[in-house]
Amino acid sequence: MGAAKALLLLTASVPAMMVVQQVEAQQTTSAIQGTVTSPNGDAVSGAQVTITNTRTGRSATGTTAGQGRFSFSGLEVGGPYTVLIESDRYQTEQIEGVFISLSSAANLNIQLSSGDIEEIVITAAASVVTQLALGPSAAFGLDTLENFPSIDRDIRDMIRIDPRVTIDGGNNDSISCLGGNNRFNSFTIDGVRTSDSFGLNASGFPSRNNMPIPFDAVRETAVEFAPFDVEYGSFTGCNINVVTKSGDNEFHGSAFGVFNSGGLTGSKIDGRQAREGGFRDWNWGATLGGPIIKDKLWFFGAYEEVQDGGVIVDTGPSGAGFAQELPFLTEAMADSIANTFETVYNRDTLGVARNLPDESRRILGRLDWQITDDHRASFTYSRLREERQDPDDAFTAFTDFTFLDNFEIEGSETESYSARVFSNWTDNFSTEIRASRIDITDIQGPVGGGEAQDATPIPRIEILNVVNPANGASGPSLAAPVSAVLRMI
């Protein structure tokens, strides 16, 4: 078992003066910009522009510059936003339904009208709003995440539809971008780099088996291959950028549950009775978000738990109901060996493995605070604990059969904290300050304990079949020296 800790502190980023940070935090916001012109196409300066996130009620106000340009950065992804343009020389105009994403900013071309009409309302259309790409990327918004059929409840189910991304099912669903190695990618959540610090996981996540956060906590995911922003770094394949949901001015909640068990499966294979080991699969979760103080302070929380019966072991002693029976070992022989271990060597073999459980618990909490019209803050906490049983050296070149005490528990425990403060000081000067910390503990060890570094290590016992050469084992594969060799004749 090992642990890794990281503390990240980022200084402000200013549009006119970008500072390259050693920790290379990633973008979590987007922008709305545009040009305001008169009926004859001349730039309109001094017009007041107000943007409002209709979901939370947050708004920001600025004025157009000499070329009729305006720009708002540090905005929450998603929307919808409304953009209101007011001028003492022309009609007031409002554009509704403007959406922004991690991979692109919204650019508006607004031509004001003259006349006696007090206000013109326009629903965002391609003629008014265009998306400016921030580099080669693919973004998957909330609609895609909610409507895409994800069997595993994992963002990998979505990002695989981009032809530049390949998911290797034979390597624990590792992610390859542009044909590169999965170790060359980066993974971030709300700007916190949450990649595999130990380098042991094919997924590239700090978690071995699941996403680090509940699936229903994700607002948007972007796969970024070569972003223009200098804040990006620490990858040559792609950056998988995840932004979490936040609360708004209305209470929203959700819940789901999926259940399966051995009682819901068949009991025979080709007419032969089979024993599946009594597995039980249970995946459930819930979310809740809303206002603490309307238009001022919001919360969001999500929880997801997986209790999976895991992989069903299909190979075992003959006569024990396995799909593939070992010709050199019967169920009676396995029971006799286990009894010998218990009575002679005081060893509990934990029996014959039939299924390998997989469990995880994930939680995320987020607070958003509108300090003033020009300053806001966001705080995120997430925690994951997962464990899974895997073969150590069962059914490999080293041995043909092992008891459950030869299997190992693999998993991780991850805690992440982040705080961000967004400030607009003038129309042309804004800052973003981030501080984050992530603690990762990697979990590895034999199912029954007793690895070599323990105070009371369990020695490995090997079984040799001298008639029909085949090997068996009890105890961790590399935990301690062999203390005994049994020969079956």
In tens, the pLDDT along 14-27 reads: 333 333 223 333 47
* Residues 92 and 195 grouped into a single domain: no
Q: Please, are residues 217 and 302 in contact by the beta-carbon 8 Å criterion?
A: yes
Residue 7's pLDDT band, with cuts at 50, 70 and 90, is: very low
Residue 397 lies in a domain: yes
Residue 303's pLDDT band, with cuts at 50, 70 and 90, is: very high
Tokens of 1: 């078992």
Q: Which pLDDT score is estimated for 123?
A: 63
Residue 18 lies in a domain: no
Q: Which pLDDT score is estimated for 371?
A: 92
* Residues 161 and 87 grouped into a single domain: no
Q: Give φ, ψ of 447 to 5 degrees.
A: -55, -40
Beta-bridge mates of residue 32: 72, 106
Query: At which residue do the structure tokens 């001028």 appear?
Result: 87
Q: Please, are residues 482 and 459 in contact by the beta-carbon 8 Å criterion?
A: yes
How much helix, strand and coil, in percent to the nearest 5, is found in the chain?
A: 10, 50, 40
Q: Chain centroid to CA 171: how far?
A: 18
* Domain's final residue, options 98, 133, 168: 133
Query: At which residue do the structure tokens 């978000």 appear?
Result: 289
pLDDT, mean of residues 153-158: 88
Residue 125 lies in a domain: yes
* Residues 81 and 178 grouped into a single domain: no
Q: How far apart are CA 298 and CA 57, in angstroms?
A: 11
- Per-residue pLDDT reduced to its tens digit, 362-373: 999 999 999 988
Residues of the chain with pLDDT > 70, as a percent, come to 81
From residue 438, alpha-carbon distances to 143, 203, 416, 435 in Å are: 29, 18, 4, 11
Residue 3 lies in a domain: no
Q: How far apart are CA 390 and CA 392, in angstroms?
A: 6
pTM reported for the whole predicted model = 0.78
User: What sign results for the dihedral spanned by CA atoms 219, 159, 73, 47?
Assistant: negative
* Residues 111 and 174 grouped into a single domain: no
Residue 2 lies in a domain: no
* Residues 83 and 143 grouped into a single domain: no
Number of domains in the chain: 2
Residue 310 lies in a domain: yes
* Residues 177 and 128 grouped into a single domain: no
Q: How far apart are CA 448 and CA 474, in angstroms?
A: 11
Best-predicted range by mean pLDDT (64-68, 282-286, 333-337): 282-286
Q: Please, are residues 82 and 74 in contact by the beta-carbon 8 Å criterion?
A: no
Alpha helices in 113-223 (DSSP H): 142-147, 156-159
- Per-residue pLDDT reduced to its tens digit, 272-283: 776 665 677 889
Q: How far apart are CA 244 and CA 74, in angstroms?
A: 15
Residue 19 lies in a domain: no
**Would you give the end-to-end CA distance of the chain in angstroms?**
39
Answer yes or no: is pLDDT of 64 > 50. yes
pLDDT, mean of residues 475-482: 52
- Residue 382's SS3 state is strand
Q: Please, are residues 444 and 408 in contact by the beta-carbon 8 Å criterion?
A: yes
Query: What residue numbers bound the domain in which 379 lies?
Result: 137-488
Q: Which pLDDT score is estimated for 395?
A: 54
* Residues 84 and 207 grouped into a single domain: no
* Residues 460 and 474 grouped into a single domain: yes
Closest C-alpha among 321, 325, 326, 311 to residue 275: 321
* Residues 166 and 129 grouped into a single domain: no
Residue 91 lies in a domain: yes
* Domain's final residue, options 133, 165, 197: 133
What CATH number is associated with residue 113?
2.60.40.10
Residue 213's pLDDT band, with cuts at 50, 70 and 90, is: very high
- Per-residue pLDDT reduced to its tens digit, 407-464: 888 888 889 999 999 988 887 788 889 898 888 888 887 887 766 666 667 777 766 6
* Domain's final residue, options 133, 150, 168: 133
Tokens of 414: 């991850």
Q: Residues 197-206, buried b or exposed e (16+ Cβ, 10 A)? A: beeebbbbbb
Tokens of 4: 């890794």
* Residues 296 and 224 grouped into a single domain: yes
Beta-bridge mates of residue 367: 299, 379
How many CB atoms within 10 Å of residue 322? 21
- Per-residue pLDDT reduced to its tens digit, 224-239: 898 877 777 778 888 8
Tokens of 306: 């997986």
Q: Please, are residues 202 and 173 in contact by the beta-carbon 8 Å criterion?
A: yes
Q: Which pLDDT score is estimated for 274?
A: 66
* Residues 129 and 228 grouped into a single domain: no
Q: Which pLDDT score is estimated for 455?
A: 66
* Residues 114 and 144 grouped into a single domain: no
Q: How far apart are CA 225 and CA 212, in angstroms?
A: 22
Q: What is the CA radius of gyration of the chain?
A: 29
Tokens of 433: 């300050």
Answer yes or no: is pLDDT of 11 > 90. no
- Residue 143's SS3 state is helix
